[in-house]
Structure 1
Amino acid sequence: MNFKKVKIEIFIPAEYTNKLREALNNIGALGVGNYDNVMSITKIKGCWRPLAGANPFDGTVGKISEANEDKMEFSTDIKNMENIIKVVKEIHPYEEPVINIIPLLNDRFDINLNY
Protein backbone atom coordinates (compact mmCIF):
# COMPACT_ATOMS: atom_id res chain seq x y z
CA MET A 1 0.00 0.00 0.00
CA ASN A 2 1.39 3.41 -0.92
CA PHE A 3 1.03 6.29 1.51
CA LYS A 4 1.39 10.00 0.80
CA LYS A 5 1.24 11.22 4.41
CA VAL A 6 2.93 10.07 7.59
CA LYS A 7 2.82 11.07 11.23
CA ILE A 8 6.21 11.63 12.82
CA GLU A 9 6.96 11.32 16.54
CA ILE A 10 10.32 12.48 17.89
CA PHE A 11 11.41 12.31 21.53
CA ILE A 12 13.88 15.08 22.42
CA PRO A 13 15.16 17.11 25.39
CA ALA A 14 13.02 20.26 25.75
CA GLU A 15 15.97 22.60 25.24
CA TYR A 16 16.32 21.31 21.65
CA THR A 17 12.63 21.43 20.70
CA ASN A 18 12.46 24.96 19.28
CA LYS A 19 15.66 24.59 17.28
CA LEU A 20 14.38 21.35 15.73
CA ARG A 21 10.93 22.85 15.08
CA GLU A 22 12.48 25.81 13.27
CA ALA A 23 14.72 23.57 11.16
CA LEU A 24 11.85 21.24 10.25
CA ASN A 25 9.67 24.20 9.32
CA ASN A 26 12.48 25.64 7.16
CA ILE A 27 12.49 22.47 5.02
CA GLY A 28 8.69 22.56 4.62
CA ALA A 29 7.95 19.59 6.88
CA LEU A 30 5.49 21.42 9.17
CA GLY A 31 3.07 22.88 6.63
CA VAL A 32 -0.65 22.15 6.52
CA GLY A 33 -2.65 24.10 3.96
CA ASN A 34 -2.08 27.82 4.56
CA TYR A 35 -0.25 27.24 7.86
CA ASP A 36 3.30 26.43 8.87
CA ASN A 37 4.93 25.42 12.18
CA VAL A 38 2.04 22.93 12.65
CA MET A 39 3.00 20.42 15.33
CA SER A 40 2.10 19.25 18.83
CA ILE A 41 4.41 18.94 21.82
CA THR A 42 3.67 16.74 24.81
CA LYS A 43 5.75 16.69 27.99
CA ILE A 44 6.78 13.11 28.83
CA LYS A 45 9.23 11.20 30.98
CA GLY A 46 11.66 9.00 29.05
CA CYS A 47 13.53 5.98 30.40
CA TRP A 48 16.64 4.24 29.03
CA ARG A 49 19.73 2.24 29.98
CA PRO A 50 22.88 2.73 27.92
CA LEU A 51 24.56 -0.60 27.19
CA ALA A 52 28.26 -1.40 26.74
CA GLY A 53 29.64 0.56 23.78
CA ALA A 54 27.10 3.38 24.11
CA ASN A 55 28.13 7.03 24.31
CA PRO A 56 25.08 8.53 26.04
CA PHE A 57 24.17 12.22 25.89
CA ASP A 58 22.68 11.73 29.36
CA GLY A 59 22.99 8.82 31.75
CA THR A 60 25.60 6.22 32.65
CA VAL A 61 26.37 2.95 30.90
CA GLY A 62 24.65 0.10 32.72
CA LYS A 63 22.30 2.29 34.78
CA ILE A 64 18.64 3.03 34.11
CA SER A 65 18.04 6.74 33.56
CA GLU A 66 14.92 8.89 33.50
CA ALA A 67 14.48 12.45 32.26
CA ASN A 68 11.77 14.83 31.16
CA GLU A 69 11.51 15.10 27.38
CA ASP A 70 9.27 16.54 24.70
CA LYS A 71 7.38 14.34 22.28
CA MET A 72 7.09 16.28 19.01
CA GLU A 73 4.32 15.13 16.65
CA PHE A 74 3.42 16.30 13.17
CA SER A 75 2.05 15.01 9.89
CA THR A 76 3.90 15.53 6.64
CA ASP A 77 4.30 14.26 3.09
CA ILE A 78 6.26 11.03 2.92
CA LYS A 79 8.45 12.63 0.24
CA ASN A 80 9.97 14.79 3.02
CA MET A 81 11.30 11.83 5.03
CA GLU A 82 14.90 11.83 3.79
CA ASN A 83 15.34 15.54 4.62
CA ILE A 84 13.50 15.18 7.94
CA ILE A 85 15.77 12.37 9.12
CA LYS A 86 18.84 14.34 8.04
CA VAL A 87 17.71 17.45 9.99
CA VAL A 88 16.81 15.42 13.09
CA LYS A 89 20.21 13.72 13.12
CA GLU A 90 21.99 17.08 12.72
CA ILE A 91 20.18 18.73 15.67
CA HIS A 92 19.15 15.93 18.03
CA PRO A 93 21.69 15.37 20.81
CA TYR A 94 20.99 11.66 21.34
CA GLU A 95 23.27 9.00 19.93
CA GLU A 96 20.14 7.04 18.90
CA PRO A 97 17.20 9.45 18.45
CA VAL A 98 13.76 7.87 18.42
CA ILE A 99 11.92 8.77 15.21
CA ASN A 100 8.58 6.97 14.80
CA ILE A 101 7.15 7.10 11.27
CA ILE A 102 3.47 6.13 11.12
CA PRO A 103 1.60 5.84 7.78
CA LEU A 104 -1.63 7.84 7.65
CA LEU A 105 -4.78 6.78 5.84
CA ASN A 106 -6.21 10.32 5.64
CA ASP A 107 -5.40 10.79 1.95
CA ARG A 108 -6.51 7.27 0.95
CA PHE A 109 -10.18 8.07 1.47
CA ASP A 110 -12.41 10.86 0.27
CA ILE A 111 -13.19 12.21 3.73
CA ASN A 112 -15.41 15.28 3.81
CA LEU A 113 -14.93 16.98 7.19
CA ASN A 114 -17.10 20.00 6.37
CA TYR A 115 -20.14 19.87 8.64
Structure 2
Amino acid sequence: MTRLKIEISVPESHLEAVVEALHAAGAGHVGAYARCHSVWRVTGSWQPLPGSRPYLGDVGAVQHSEECRIESVCDAEQAASVRRAVRDAHPYEEPVIHFLPLYEP
Protein backbone atom coordinates (compact mmCIF):
# COMPACT_ATOMS: atom_id res chain seq x y z
CA MET A 1 0.00 0.00 0.00
CA THR A 2 1.44 3.37 -1.05
CA ARG A 3 1.10 6.20 1.45
CA LEU A 4 1.09 9.84 0.42
CA LYS A 5 1.92 13.04 2.24
CA ILE A 6 -0.65 15.77 1.58
CA GLU A 7 0.24 19.48 1.57
CA ILE A 8 -2.51 22.08 1.25
CA SER A 9 -2.22 25.88 1.37
CA VAL A 10 -5.36 27.65 2.57
CA PRO A 11 -6.30 31.04 4.04
CA GLU A 12 -6.79 30.85 7.81
CA SER A 13 -10.47 31.78 7.38
CA HIS A 14 -11.08 28.36 5.76
CA LEU A 15 -8.60 26.27 7.77
CA GLU A 16 -11.14 24.36 9.87
CA ALA A 17 -13.46 23.66 6.92
CA VAL A 18 -10.59 22.22 4.86
CA VAL A 19 -9.30 20.15 7.81
CA GLU A 20 -12.79 18.73 8.35
CA ALA A 21 -13.13 17.88 4.64
CA LEU A 22 -9.68 16.28 4.63
CA HIS A 23 -10.53 13.99 7.53
CA ALA A 24 -14.09 13.27 6.36
CA ALA A 25 -12.54 11.91 3.14
CA GLY A 26 -10.43 9.46 5.15
CA ALA A 27 -7.07 11.23 5.38
CA GLY A 28 -5.06 11.54 8.58
CA HIS A 29 -4.88 7.93 9.79
CA VAL A 30 -1.54 6.93 11.31
CA GLY A 31 -1.56 3.52 12.97
CA ALA A 32 -4.18 3.56 15.74
CA TYR A 33 -4.64 7.36 15.47
CA ALA A 34 -7.08 9.41 13.39
CA ARG A 35 -7.30 13.10 12.42
CA CYS A 36 -3.50 13.47 12.32
CA HIS A 37 -2.33 16.69 10.71
CA SER A 38 0.02 19.63 11.20
CA VAL A 39 -0.51 23.30 10.43
CA TRP A 40 2.25 25.74 9.51
CA ARG A 41 1.98 29.49 8.96
CA VAL A 42 3.38 30.46 5.54
CA THR A 43 3.32 33.40 3.16
CA GLY A 44 1.85 32.59 -0.22
CA SER A 45 2.47 34.54 -3.41
CA TRP A 46 0.66 34.46 -6.76
CA GLN A 47 -0.26 36.60 -9.76
CA PRO A 48 -3.78 36.11 -11.15
CA LEU A 49 -3.68 35.97 -14.94
CA PRO A 50 -6.35 37.30 -17.32
CA GLY A 51 -9.44 35.09 -17.19
CA SER A 52 -8.90 34.08 -13.56
CA ARG A 53 -11.31 34.87 -10.72
CA PRO A 54 -9.02 35.32 -7.70
CA TYR A 55 -10.33 34.86 -4.17
CA LEU A 56 -7.72 37.41 -3.05
CA GLY A 57 -5.98 40.04 -5.14
CA ASP A 58 -6.52 41.57 -8.54
CA VAL A 59 -5.87 40.18 -12.01
CA GLY A 60 -2.35 41.15 -13.09
CA ALA A 61 -1.12 42.18 -9.63
CA VAL A 62 1.26 40.05 -7.58
CA GLN A 63 -0.44 39.12 -4.30
CA HIS A 64 1.24 38.12 -1.02
CA SER A 65 -0.86 36.77 1.82
CA GLU A 66 -0.53 34.85 5.06
CA GLU A 67 -1.81 31.29 4.66
CA CYS A 68 -1.81 28.04 6.55
CA ARG A 69 -0.10 24.92 5.22
CA ILE A 70 -1.89 21.75 6.26
CA GLU A 71 0.13 18.53 6.17
CA SER A 72 -1.38 15.07 6.57
CA VAL A 73 -1.27 11.59 5.03
CA CYS A 74 -3.53 9.22 3.13
CA ASP A 75 -3.39 6.00 1.14
CA ALA A 76 -2.89 6.42 -2.61
CA GLU A 77 -6.34 4.91 -3.19
CA GLN A 78 -7.90 7.77 -1.20
CA ALA A 79 -6.14 10.58 -3.08
CA ALA A 80 -8.90 11.32 -5.62
CA SER A 81 -11.65 11.51 -2.99
CA VAL A 82 -9.44 13.58 -0.66
CA ARG A 83 -8.68 15.98 -3.52
CA ARG A 84 -12.39 16.37 -4.38
CA ALA A 85 -13.35 16.97 -0.73
CA VAL A 86 -10.61 19.54 -0.21
CA ARG A 87 -11.46 21.38 -3.46
CA ASP A 88 -15.13 21.54 -2.42
CA ALA A 89 -14.22 23.15 0.93
CA HIS A 90 -11.42 25.40 -0.37
CA PRO A 91 -12.15 29.01 -1.39
CA TYR A 92 -9.43 29.32 -4.06
CA GLU A 93 -10.19 28.84 -7.75
CA GLU A 94 -6.97 26.78 -8.05
CA PRO A 95 -6.06 25.45 -4.60
CA VAL A 96 -2.56 24.11 -4.03
CA ILE A 97 -2.93 20.43 -3.08
CA HIS A 98 0.22 18.33 -3.29
CA PHE A 99 0.37 14.54 -2.93
CA LEU A 100 3.91 13.28 -2.35
CA PRO A 101 4.84 9.57 -2.16
CA LEU A 102 6.35 8.52 1.17
CA TYR A 103 9.28 6.17 1.52
CA GLU A 104 8.43 3.60 4.15
CA PRO A 105 11.24 1.08 4.72
Scaled by the length of structure 1, what TM-score is found? Answer: 0.86
Aligned length: 105
AA at the equivalent of 1:86: R
Structure 1 equivalent of residue 18 of structure 2: 20
**Residue 43 of structure 1: CA displacement?**
0.2
Structure 2 equivalent of residue 42 of structure 1: 40
5+ residue gaps, structure 2 = none
CA RMSD of the aligned region, Å? 1.1
In the alignment, the residues of structure 2 paired with residue 88 and residue 26 of structure 1 have an alpha-carbon distance, to the nearest angstrom, of 10
Scaled by the length of structure 2, what TM-score is found? Answer: 0.94
Q: Deviations over 1:1-46 (max 9, x none)?
A: xx61111100000111111111221222111112111011000010
Choose from 50, 72, 75 the match for 2:73. 75
Structure 1 equivalent of residue 53 of structure 2: 55
Runs of 4+ in 1 over 4 A off after TM superposition: none
**Residue 52 of structure 1: CA displacement?**
0.6
In the alignment, the residues of structure 2 paired with residue 24 and residue 11 of structure 1 have an alpha-carbon distance, to the nearest angstrom, of 13
